């Protein structure tokens, strides 16, 4: 960029003049390649004024020729007029001819010199006749000539001021000619007039220089503006060529002002098509059919354009070449000099990739990856929406919680891959029962939730529940394994059982809890009493803390009798709660609550220590069996606690049997195996409780070494009536024998049951037929009573 010359020190007038000259002329040193164009502009500025000059000259020469007609030979006057006019024409032609380059003419320094000398020649020609006439004419004639000469000098100087060198040459010739003429006059006081003439000439040249300076300053400003415009053009072009964005500019009629290749490419249309239609008309034909989002975005665009409001980040789906694309548009309104709307200018960007990524993220945020169903997040949003709309429409909606009863066991024994497959197949089966408009979600694990408008009343919800259970009833075929799936369903109806998401969830949850407690593989509706029992549970939780400190718990013992000898081989320790207000509470009521809160650990420890201590008072061959809940079994301190109880009581480890259920073994195989091994290596016996009710898989028995298998009372109770129960018990006993496990049958209430069990090869029996669980202080008497009965063959 050309730098303006530094300001000169004010004292040096020569330097001032040089600076003035530099500022009023073009030089490569200051203006670079623009100097050539500037010179051409200097010449053009003069050329532009030549018609006026032509007229002025014609008038001047003709006036002088007419005035002095007769005083000079007429041929010489005619020749002068012709020469003056002709020289001007030649000057015009010559000056135009000097300029080269059509788009942006250029001229050299030499060209300027040619112009200057041509101008000086013209001045000489022009001044010749007046100067010759001057001494011969009267003072009126002289006045006319001198005023014409001075006028020519001033006017010409100003006209030529864009080329100061030419202007100076011209002024000097004219001033010289005038001086010469005056010199030869006899009327005038030469000195004063010549002095005056000199001052004018200098003034005219000074004004000329000042004009030239202004002229150059304008040229330089224009050149700088031009340079900047070119730079901006360049940057914009680069932007259009390389960025994914495109610039758009429309007039107040809505038509594109210009169409870049990028713009045409973005619209998938030719420049011709783009220029033919208005922007909004074009966009309207590109909107994807039946897209409400597109329609809304387009409405927004139109409203912005109508109201003249600038906008940004307006996302618009469009169809380009049959493909769905997303544009993000921004624009600002344009105004003309008078502040009237003059269209819009903005940037468009193709944001399809980002949009796809965002949609995918949103989808993933709402979808359960495993089953493709809605996830918990999506379900929560929908539930909130449903609750709000139930409230306003008073239309009923059902919320169903579906929970698989035996999923953990299946997942554990068959592996997670098959577990996942099972969940997918369960999801598909439930989905097949879901009406359009209803929402099925997987909340996590084996928990599914269904929001159904179709089942808004109790009858249709019950019917849906039945359908779901039926859909799950057929076993699932997972690769080469057939798996029985069972589910419990809790159902709550809005608005009946709750109108807020929270209460509705709570109601369905309580109903599910009740379904599980009610034997599983069933569905239950929420009833307010469930809320009460939940509150009762909460109360129980609170009271249990105090009860433990107050020693309100007691351990009762139920004998286990050998089928072979009829002898008591052990007692199972069963805890009871002597509640201050409610009397004796059974463990089935409070153990689950204690397990939920973790209070089972201190309670279980207390039972264990109590049982070991009591067992020390029994004859040496009698064992004590203590129930360990899964929560206790999984706690890290279980082995230490057991060891401590044995050490403190002095009970030999072989006399302690720990009863665990399969639920203690699932989830953490390695941990369970390590705990079992640690206990058994110390000589402690382990029994698997309630066998036949849970997952009852052979895999557990093989993987986890045990000593005893306890056949659940459920099978024993129906032994005589149900041949299936007999088959199950027979199978369990033979299985146990194969695995070298002892068997104990629970819940023996009748002598026939005992006879059958003995015949089937069961090792021990336990049940009301022998004795109900009894307090520790009744055991001695019981054992004393037992001996004669055994001898009489009663057991």
Structure tokens at 484: 């029985």
Angle at which helices 416-432 and 458-473 cross, to 10°: 140
Contact partners, residue 423, CB within 8 Å, separation at least 6: 370, 371, 407, 442, 446
Question: Which of ligand C2E, Ca ion, none sits in contact with 575, Cβ below 5 to 8 A by type?
Answer: ligand C2E
How many residues bind to ligand C2E according to rule CB under 6 A? 23
Q: For the chain, how big is the Rg over CA atoms in Å?
A: 56
Give the residue with the Cβ less far from ligand C2E, 577 or 618. 577
| Least distance in angstroms from the C-beta of 644 to ligand C2E | 17
User: Nearer Cβ to ligand C2E, position 453 or 571?
Assistant: 571
Cα distances (Å, whole numbers) of residue 737 to 219, 645, 744, 760, 761:
113, 31, 12, 11, 9
**Tokens 């399809």 label which residue?**
352
Three-state SS for 707-757 is: CEEEECHHHHHCCCCCHHHHHHHHHHHHHHHHCCCEEEECCCCCHHHHHHH
Determine if 659 is a binding residue for Ca ion (CB under 5 A): yes
For residue 625, the minimal CB distance to ligand C2E (Å) is: 9
Write phi, then psi, for 493 (nearest 5 degrees). -110, 135
Position 570 contacts ligand C2E (CB under 6 A): no
Choose the contact partner of 588 out of Ca ion, ligand C2E, none; CB within 5 to 8 A by kind.
ligand C2E
Question: Rule CB under 6 A: which of 23-52 touch ligand C2E?
Answer: none
Interface of this chain with ligand C2E, residues 769 to 788, rule: CB under 6 A? 773
Q: Toward ligand C2E, which CB reaches closer, 397 or 626?
A: 626
Report the DSSP beta bridge partners of residue 330: 347
Piece in contact with ligand C2E (CB under 6 A), picked from 99-107, 399-407, 411-419, 742-750: 742-750
Of 31, 368, 382, 690, the residue at the interface with ligand C2E (CB under 6 A) is: 690
The interface with Ca ion within residues 466-505 (CB under 5 A) comprises none
Residue 368 binds Ca ion, judged by CB under 5 A: no
Q: Which two tokens stand for residue 35?
A: 């100097």
Q: Which stretch binds ligand C2E (CB under 6 A): 30-38, 334-342, 583-591, 636-644?
A: 583-591
Quick note: the x/- pattern for ligand C2E over 252-271, rule CB under 6 A, is --------------------
Shortest CB 687 distance to ligand C2E, Å: 10
CB of 599: closest distance to ligand C2E in angstroms? Answer: 11
Smallest gap, in angstroms, from Cβ of residue 713 to Ca ion? 7
Residues whose CB is less than 8 angstroms from the CB of residue 221 and which lie 6 or more positions away in sequence, other chains included:
none
Q: 247 near 240, Cβ under 8 Å? A: yes
Asked if residue 130 lies in contact with residue 64, where contact means CB atoms within 8 angstroms, the answer is: yes
Provide the token pair at 179.
């001086």
- 400 vs 601, beta carbon nearer ligand C2E: 601
Choose which of 162, 375, 506, 629 interacts with ligand C2E (CB under 6 A): 629
> Taking the complex as a whole, how short is the minimal distance between the CB of residue 657 and Ca ion, in angstroms?
10
- Using rule CB under 6 A, residue 586 touches ligand C2E: yes
The entry of ligand C2E, Ca ion, none that residue 607 binds, CB within 5 to 8 Å by partner kind: ligand C2E
Question: Cβ closer to ligand C2E: 274 or 626?
Answer: 626
Minimum gap (Å) between residue 658 Cβ and Ca ion: 10
Position 767 contacts ligand C2E (CB under 6 A): yes
Among 25, 266, 488, 558, indicate the residue that binds ligand C2E (CB under 6 A).
558
User: Which of 747, 757, 776, 795 is in the footprint of ligand C2E by CB under 6 A?
Assistant: 747
Size of the site for Ca ion (CB under 5 A): 5
How many whole angstroms separate alpha carbon 54 and alpha carbon 88?
7
| Contact in structure between 256 and 249 (CB atoms under 8 Å) | yes
CB of 366 to ligand C2E, least distance (A): 41
- When the beta carbons of 438 and 690 are compared against Ca ion, the nearer one is 690
547 binds, among Ca ion, ligand C2E, none (CB under 5 to 8 A by kind): none
Q: Which of residues 702-721 bind ligand C2E (CB under 6 A)?
A: 713
Instruction: Name the segment binding Ca ion (CB under 5 A); options: 181-189, 367-375, 589-597, 690-698.
Output: 690-698
**For ligand C2E, which stretch binds (CB under 6 A), given 259-267, 298-306, 646-654, 740-748?**
740-748
Alpha carbons 661 and 671: distance in angstroms, whole number: 15
Our finding on whether 559 is near ligand C2E (CB under 6 A) is: no
- 3-state SS, one letter per residue, for 461-520: HHHHHHHHHHHHHCCEEECCEEECCCEEEEEEEECCCCCCHHHHHHHHHHHHHHHHHCCC
| Closest C-alpha among 466, 471, 433 to residue 452 | 433
Nearest to ligand C2E of 570, 713 (CB atom): 713
Name which of 381 and 616 has its Cβ closer to ligand C2E. Answer: 616
Per CB under 6 A, the list member of 749, 774, 778, 783 interacting with ligand C2E is 749
Q: Is 751 in the site for ligand C2E (CB under 6 A)?
A: no
Tokens, residue 439: 């929402």
Task: Please state the closest distance from residue 521 (CB atom) to ligand C2E, in A.
Answer: 20
Angle between helices 164-183 and 139-159 (to 10 degrees): 170
Could you say which DSSP state residue 647 is in? H
Q: Give the burial class of 192: count Cβ atoms within 10 A of its Cβ; 0-12 exposed, 13-18 middle, 19 or more buried.
A: exposed
Closest CA to 330 of 346, 343, 308: 346
Whole-angstrom Cα distance, residue 115 to residue 561?
A: 138
Which residue has tokens 């380059």?
Answer: 101
Among 368, 412, 509, 690, binds Ca ion (CB under 5 A): 690
Judged by CB under 6 A, which of 276, 444, 768, 789 binds ligand C2E?
768
Question: Closer to ligand C2E at the Cβ: 451 or 748?
Answer: 748
Out of 175, 575, 622, 687, the only residue in the binding site for ligand C2E (CB under 6 A) is 575
Closest to 497 (Cα-Cα) out of 512, 482, 481? 512
DSSP E strands in 391-454: the ranges are 397-404, 439-444, 447-452
> Pick from ligand C2E, Ca ion, none: which does 751 bind, CB < 5 to 8 A by kind?
none
* CA dist., res. 274 & res. 574, Å (int): 88
57 part of the interface to Ca ion, by CB under 5 A: no
**Site track 604-623 with ligand C2E (rule: CB under 6 A), x = hit:** x--x----------------
> Quick one: which segment of 52-60, 218-226, 230-238, 627-635 binds Ca ion (CB under 5 A)?
627-635
Is 336 exposed, middle or buried, given 0-12, 13-18 or 19+ CB atoms closer than 10 A? exposed
Q: Are 269 and 352 in contact (CB under 8 A)?
A: no
Contacts of 648 (CB under 8 A, 6+ apart): 609, 612, 613
Minimum separation from the CB atom of position 485 to Ca ion (A): 25
Q: What is the widest separation between alpha-carbon atoms in the chain?
A: 183
Which of 23, 662, 689, 763 contacts Ca ion by CB under 5 A?
Answer: 689
In whole angstroms, the minimum distance from the beta carbon of 597 to ligand C2E comes to: 14
DSSP annotation of 346 reads E
Structure-block tokens of residue 437 = 């408009």
The site partner of 409 among Ca ion, ligand C2E, none (C-beta below 5 to 8 Å per kind) is none
Least Å distance, CB 385 to ligand C2E, is: 43
Gap between the Cα atoms of 5 and 596, Å rounded: 91
Q: Which residues bind ligand C2E (CB under 6 A)?
A: 558, 574-575, 586-588, 591, 604, 607, 627-629, 659, 689-690, 713, 746-749, 767-768, 773
Q: Which residues bind Ca ion (CB under 5 A)?
A: 627, 659, 689-690, 746
């Amino acid at each position: 960029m050309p730098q303006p010359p530094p300001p000169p020190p004010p004292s040096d007038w020569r330097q001032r003049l040089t600076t003035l000259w530099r500022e009023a002329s073009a030089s490569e040193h200051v203006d670079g390649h623009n100097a050539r164009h500037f010179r051409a502009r200097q010449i053009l500025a003069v050329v532009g004024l030549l018609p006026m000059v032509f007229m002025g000259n014609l008038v001047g020469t003709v006036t002088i020729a007419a005035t002095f007609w007769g005083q000079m030979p007429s041929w010489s006057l005619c020749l002068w007029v012709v020469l003056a006019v002709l020289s001007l024409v030649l000057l015009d032609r010559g000056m135009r001819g000097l300029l080269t380059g059509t788009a942006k003419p250029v001229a050299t320094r030499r060209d300027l010199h040619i112009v200057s000398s041509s101008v000086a020649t013209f001045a000489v020609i022009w001044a010749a006749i007046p100067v010759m006439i001057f001494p011969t004419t009267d003072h009126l004639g002289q006045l006319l000539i001198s005023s014409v000469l001075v006028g020519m000098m001033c006017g010409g100087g100003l006209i030529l001021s864009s080329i100061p060198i030419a202007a100076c040459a011209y002024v000097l010739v004219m001033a010289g000619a005038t001086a010469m003429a005056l010199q030869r006059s006899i009327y005038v006081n030469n000195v004063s007039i010549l002095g005056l003439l000199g001052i004018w000439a200098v003034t005219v040249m000074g004004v000329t220089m000042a004009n030239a300076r202004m002229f150059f300053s304008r040229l330089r400003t224009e050149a700088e503006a031009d340079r900047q415009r070119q730079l901006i053009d360049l940057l914009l072009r680069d932007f259009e060529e390389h960025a994914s964005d495109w610039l758009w500019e429309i007039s107040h009629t809505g038509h594109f002002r210009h169409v870049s290749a990028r713009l045409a490419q973005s619209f998938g249309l030719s420049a011709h098509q783009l220029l033919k239609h208005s922007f909004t008309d074009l966009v309207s034909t590109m909107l994807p059919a039946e897209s409400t989002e597109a329609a809304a975005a387009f409405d927004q665009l139109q409203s912005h354009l109508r109201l003249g409001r600038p906008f940004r980040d307006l996302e618009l789906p469009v169809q380009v070449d049959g493909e769905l694309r997303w544009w993000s548009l921004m624009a600002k309104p344009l105004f003309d000099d008078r502040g009237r709307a003059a269209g819009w200018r903005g940037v468009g960007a193709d944001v399809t990739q980002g949009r796809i990524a965002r949609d995918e993220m949103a989808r993933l945020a709402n979808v359960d990856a495993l089953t493709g169903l809605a996830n918990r997040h999506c379900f929560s949003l929908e539930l909130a929406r449903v609750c709000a709309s139930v409230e306003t429409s008073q239309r009923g909606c059902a919320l169903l919680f579906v929970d698989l009863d035996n999923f953990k066991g299946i997942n554990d024994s068959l592996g997670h891959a098959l577990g996942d497959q099972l969940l997918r197949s369960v999801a598909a089966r439930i989905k097949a029962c879901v009406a359009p408009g209803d929402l099925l979600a997987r909340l996590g694990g084996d928990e599914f939730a269904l929001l159904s408008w179709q089942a808004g009343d109790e009858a249709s919800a019950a019917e849906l529940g039945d359908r779901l259970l039926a859909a799950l009833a057929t076993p699932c075929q997972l690769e080469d394994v057939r798996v029985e799936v069972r589910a419990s369903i809790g159902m709550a109806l809005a608005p009946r059982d709750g109108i807020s998401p929270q209460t509705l969830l709570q109601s369905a949850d309580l109903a599910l809890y009740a379904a599980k407690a009610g034997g599983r593989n069933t569905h239950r509706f929420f009833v307010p009493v469930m809320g009460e029992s939940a509150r009762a549970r909460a109360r129980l939780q609170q009271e249990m803390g105090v009860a433990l400190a107050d020693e309100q718990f007691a351990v009762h013992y139920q004998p286990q009798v050998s089928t072979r000898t009829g002898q008591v081989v052990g007692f199972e320790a069963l805890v009871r709660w002597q509640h201050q207000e409610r009397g004796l509470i059974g463990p089935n009521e409070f153990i689950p609550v204690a397990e939920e809160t973790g209070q089972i650990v201190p309670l279980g420890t207390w039972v264990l220590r109590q049982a070991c201590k009591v067992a020390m008072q029994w004859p040496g061959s009698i064992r004590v069996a203590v129930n360990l809940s899964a929560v206790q079994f999984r706690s890290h301190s279980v082995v230490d606690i057991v060891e401590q109880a044995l050490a403190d009581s002095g009970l030999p480890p072989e006399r302690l049997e720990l009863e665990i259920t399969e639920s203690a073994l699932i989830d953490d195989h390695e941990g369970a195996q390590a705990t079992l091994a640690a206990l058994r290596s110390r000589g402690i016996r382990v029994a698997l409780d309630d066998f036949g009710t849970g997952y009852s898989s052979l895999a557990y028995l093989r993987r986890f070494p045990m000593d005893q298998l306890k056949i659940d009372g459920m099978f024993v109770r129906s032994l005589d009536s149900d041949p299936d129960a007999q088959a199950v018990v027979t199978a369990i006993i033979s299985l146990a024998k194969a695995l070298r496990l002892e068997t104990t049958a629970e819940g023996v209430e009748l002598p026939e049951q005992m006879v059958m069990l003995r015949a089937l090869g069961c090792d021990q029996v336990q049940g009301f037929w022998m004795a109900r669980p009894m307090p520790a202080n009744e055991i001695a008497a019981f054992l004393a009573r037992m001996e004669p009965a055994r001898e009489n063959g009663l057991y």
